[in-house]
């Protein structure tokens, strides 16, 4: 995922990174390059165990909760592979677990944030419910970096097209698409 440059001139950019898994290279780069304050979120035991083996940057905080369009607990299907895989609220496999989740606005309130510079969403199909809820929050992120999952869990491409349309109508301009076409980066247009 690509952050638009240059970022707004702020003392320390605020990044909310959802769906850490076992890769925090984006988060490390935001801290190293921009001195960002990164708040990482992942409720899964596997991710939290992996993170506990890492030497986290001083400016990174990790929270054992996920993001959703509700506050409470949400059912996540367990990965089919015991060695690697992603938990998803959209998968329909037989094995599942309940994990804590919060709405974007609840997370912003919990962290007492008056601004958010970047939100990164890699949430295995839940982005389609999170985006409309996020767009209703009083604190809008300056940039949204989203991995869309229309290729899995029987999510149609139309769901991604609808989400992109909603973002565009909500003053977000598309500024980058990954080579695979699944990671899309948006920037909030000021003053419209």
3-state secondary structure of 178: coil
Mean pLDDT value across residues 79-103: 65
Number of domains forming the structure of the chain: 1
In a domain? residue 7: no
pLDDT band of 72, cuts 50, 70, 90: very high
Q: At what angle do helices 127-134 and 157-169 cross, to 10 degrees?
A: 10
> The domain that contains 158 carries what CATH number?
3.40.50
The pLDDT tens digits for 96-148 are: 778 899 999 999 999 999 999 999 999 988 899 999 999 999 999 999 999 99
* Residue-number span of the structural domain to which 56 is assigned: 14-188
pLDDT at 83: 47
In a domain? residue 9: no
pLDDT at 46: 86
In a domain? residue 3: no
In a domain? residue 2: no
Q: What is the pTM of this model?
A: 0.86
Q: Is the pLDDT of residue 160 over 80?
A: yes
Exposure string over 107-117, b if 16+ CB within 10 A, otherwise e: bbeeeebeebb
In a domain? residue 39: yes
Q: Is the distance from CB of 188 to CB of 172 less than 8 angstroms?
A: yes
Mean pLDDT value across residues 82-102: 65
Q: Is the distance from CB of 29 to CB of 94 less than 8 angstroms?
A: no
- Helix (H), strand (E) at residue 25: helix 25-34
The pLDDT tens digits for 4-27 are: 655 555 578 999 999 998 999 999
């Amino acid at each position: 995922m690509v952050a638009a440059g240059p970022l707004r001139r702020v003392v320390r950019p605020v990044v909310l990174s959802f769906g850490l898994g076992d890769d925090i290279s984006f988060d490390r780069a935001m801290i190293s390059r921009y001195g960002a304050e990164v708040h990482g979120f992942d409720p899964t035991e596997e991710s939290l165990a992996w993170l506990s083996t890492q030497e986290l940057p001083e400016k990174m905080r990790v929270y054992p909760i996920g993001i959703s369009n509700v506050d409470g607990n949400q059912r996540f299907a367990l990965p089919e592979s015991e060695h690697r895989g992603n938990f998803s609220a959209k998968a329909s496999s037989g094995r599942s677990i309940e994990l804590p989740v919060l709405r974007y606005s609840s997370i912003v309130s919990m962290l007492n944030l008056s601004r958010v510079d970047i939100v990164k969403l890699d949430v295995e199909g839940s982005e389609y419910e999170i985006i409309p809820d996020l767009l209703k929050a009083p604190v809008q992120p300056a940039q949204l970096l989203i991995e869309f999952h229309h290729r899995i869990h029987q999510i149609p491409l139309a769901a991604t097209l609808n989400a992109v349309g909603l973002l565009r109508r909500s003053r977000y301009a598309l500024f980058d698409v990954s080579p695979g076409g699944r990671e899309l980066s948006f920037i909030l247009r000021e003053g419209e």
